[in-house]
Amino acid sequence: MSRRPQSTGRNSFIVMFFTLVSRILGVIRIRVFASVFGAGSLADAINFSFNIPNNLRKIFSEGALASAIVPGFSRIKEDRQRMQELFSSLLTAQLLIGVVLIGFSVAVRYPFVNLLSGFSDPEQTETAASLLPYFNVFFVFILIAAFFSAVLQSLSAFLVQSLAPLFFSIAEIASLVFLAARYGAYAMAYGAMAGGFLQTAVTAAAVLSKGLKLRLSFHFDSEDFCEVIRRWLPAVVTSSLAVVSTQVAFSIASSLGQGAVSAFSNSLVFWQTPYGIFFTAVGTVYMPLMSVARGRELADTYSTGLKRLLCYLLPSAVFMIFFRRDIVAVVLMTGRFTLDNSLMTASVLGVFLGGMTVVAFYSFTQKLCYCLNMQKTVLFTGIVVCGTDIALSVGLTAAGMGVSALALANTVAYLTGLVVLLVSLKSSLSGFDVPDFLRYSARVVVAVLPLVLVCSVIRFLLPDYWTTGSNMANLLTLGGITAGSVALVLLSYRLFRIKLF
């Protein structure tokens, strides 16, 4: 076996393992949050306020930043002087962006929250606006941490960037457990700031270990810097469109009655648990490979990435659709989080899960377009996705479908975007082996059928134990079902010769 497949599989496992731990901690975090604040007006206000800087993070960092930095650094990583100069210039730019955005959002936080929310209760608006400056400090830390992580990704250093998000969840959980009784909603803000600082510190240490120095540079006219910015700006606009549609969804949810914002927010956390684990692993490891590949090698790398996503996400979606109410109730139904809150969250989650693989395929294809310097195509597609999402969200909720309509609109929008991207990539992927991909997909579907059958039988025979909420007996029951389902999928994949790495 060649060295590259071995390292790719190892790196994928590293990213997947630590992302799994991070997502588990994320689920624990929302459980603690639900126990302390429930899913009422206060929880809605906190979730709404936190979502604003969280969306800014999605715009200026994460995927947008990686899509520009990974190809840029991958090509010059052998020239340490150029890397240091580019690193210093980008670090300076990130700090300037963070300071400007924080100053602006702090100055206009009250009208900003009033503009974006549909809250009718003045206390909710007051709470959301008061928390926003603290959450914006968290945003600056995460902005810099995301930059460091993208640099590490381009250097094929995946361990620390996968480990760093754990510190944020740990800090949040600790603050909710030990500070909520004294500081109330502000405990969430204090934990976010502490977690963001720790995540930045860990990634900064890893960057220093690679020989790069944390120094500022205002040389914004270098060729390497301009090339990254040319890639980054369209990605920022595209990410902004995705955030706009998400913010519109939150705004619509805030007008759908008490608990709707929390149901939408919590369902996203559950949906992003399997999605984040598997898409992060595949996207993080395969993007540097696609950045330097061309021709048939590029088509094969892209195809392999899609295959990995399908074999991970399809059984995950099937299992969670069958047991979505169990998962939500066992994790969240404690303290102030009621059965009605669980049912609302589970209904939204079920719709999100139906489109999970579609969203992953779209996002992975988007990464391919960035590697091919097709920013205009990605931007146009982002406009189509955003417009479709907003139009459907407004139309379906007006038709009385409730908060679940927001998840359905999201799925249809991303399916539309995937089709547009694939049509645009037709010439670039001329070496893509369609029959081979379809045969593989059919094998995965058939291999997952035993899981569908077993889940159907369990769902029919097992009483609704989950209605009693979060307790050890229910946790063990769900854990046993989960372990058995994982074992069944692994056995079935082995029989059908489907490799996970």
Largest CA distance in the chain: 67
Query: What count of Cα atoms within 13 Å lies in the side-chain half-sphere of residue 46?
Result: 24
Q: How far is CA 331 from the centre of its chain?
A: 20
Number of domains comprising the chain: 2
Pick from 254, 261, 259, 256: nearest CA to 118: 254
In a domain, 11, yes or no: no
What is the pTM for the complete model shown?
A: 0.75
Are 34 and 266 a contacting pair, CB within 8 Å?
A: yes
Pick from 3, 160, 162, 153: nearest CA to 77: 153
Residues 232, 298 share a domain:
no
pLDDT along the chain (501 residues), means of 10: 53 74 81 80 85 74 70 77 90 86 79 75 86 87 88 79 84 92 91 92 91 88 85 80 83 83 86 86 82 84 94 96 94 84 91 94 92 87 94 92 90 96 89 93 96 95 90 93 96 91 69
498 DSSP 8-state letter: -
Residues 325, 219 share a domain:
no
* Residue at 424: amino acid letter: S
CA distances for 332 relative to 73, 181, 429, 445, angstroms: 42, 19, 44, 31
In a domain, 120, yes or no: yes
In a domain, 476, yes or no: yes
In a domain, 427, yes or no: yes
Are 275 and 356 a contacting pair, CB within 8 Å?
A: yes
Burial label for 83, CB within 10 Å (0-12, 13-18, 19+), is buried
CA distances for 442 relative to 94, 354, 376, angstroms: 45, 18, 33
* Residue at 419: amino acid letter: V
Which stretches does DSSP call E strand in 60-208? none
| Residue 127: domain span | 41-240
Dihedral sign from CA coordinates of 396, 401, 407, 411:
negative
In a domain, 496, yes or no: yes
Residues 6+ apart with CB under 8 A from 186: 131, 134, 179
pLDDT at site 310: 96
Are 30 and 269 a contacting pair, CB within 8 Å?
A: yes
Residues 276, 221 share a domain:
no
Residues 412, 334 share a domain:
yes
464 DSSP 8-state letter: -
Are 248 and 393 a contacting pair, CB within 8 Å?
A: yes
Q: Which two tokens stand for residue 435?
A: 């029959």
Residues 263, 188 share a domain:
no
Please tell me the distance from the alpha carbon of residue 313 to that of residue 212, in angstroms, as a whole number.
Answer: 37
Q: What is the Rg, in whole angstroms, of the alpha carbon atoms belonging to the chain?
A: 22
Q: What would the DSSP string read from start to end of 365-387?
A: HHHHHHHTT-HHHHHHHHHHHHH
pLDDT at site 2: 42
Residue ending a domain, among 240, 270, 289, is 240
Residues 291, 367 share a domain:
yes
Residues 486, 428 share a domain:
yes
CA dihedral 466, 467, 471, 475 (to 10 degrees): 10
Residues 206, 90 share a domain:
yes
pLDDT at site 64: 65
3-state secondary structure (DSSP) of residue 117: coil
pLDDT at site 7: 60
Task: Compute how many other C-beta atoms are within 10 angstroms of the C-beta atom of residue 306.
Answer: 22
pLDDT at site 1: 38
Are 470 and 339 a contacting pair, CB within 8 Å?
A: no
Task: Compute how many other C-beta atoms are within 10 angstroms of the C-beta atom of residue 232.
Answer: 23
H or E element in which residue 327 lies: helix 324-332
CA dihedral 316, 421, 19, 30 (to 10 degrees): -70
In a domain, 250, yes or no: no
pLDDT at site 356: 94
* Residue at 255: amino acid letter: S
Residues 189, 67 share a domain:
yes
Dihedral sign from CA coordinates of 125, 126, 128, 133:
positive
Pick from 28, 31, 26, 29: nearest CA to 333: 31
Are 396 and 351 a contacting pair, CB within 8 Å?
A: no
3-state secondary structure (DSSP) of residue 118: coil
* Residue at 321: amino acid letter: I
Q: Give the position of tokens 């996705």.
A: 385
Are 268 and 54 a contacting pair, CB within 8 Å?
A: no
Q: Give the position of tokens 């479908």.
A: 401
Pick from 241, 250, 242, 236: nearest CA to 50: 250
Residues 274, 157 share a domain:
no
Residues 234, 294 share a domain:
no
In a domain, 229, yes or no: yes
List phi, psi (to 5°) of 109: -65, -40
pLDDT at site 62: 62
In a domain, 29, yes or no: no
Residues 422, 371 share a domain:
yes
Residue ending a domain, among 184, 208, 240, is 240
pLDDT at site 470: 87
pLDDT at site 3: 44
Residue ending a domain, among 178, 205, 240, is 240
pLDDT at site 327: 93
Are 392 and 337 a contacting pair, CB within 8 Å?
A: no
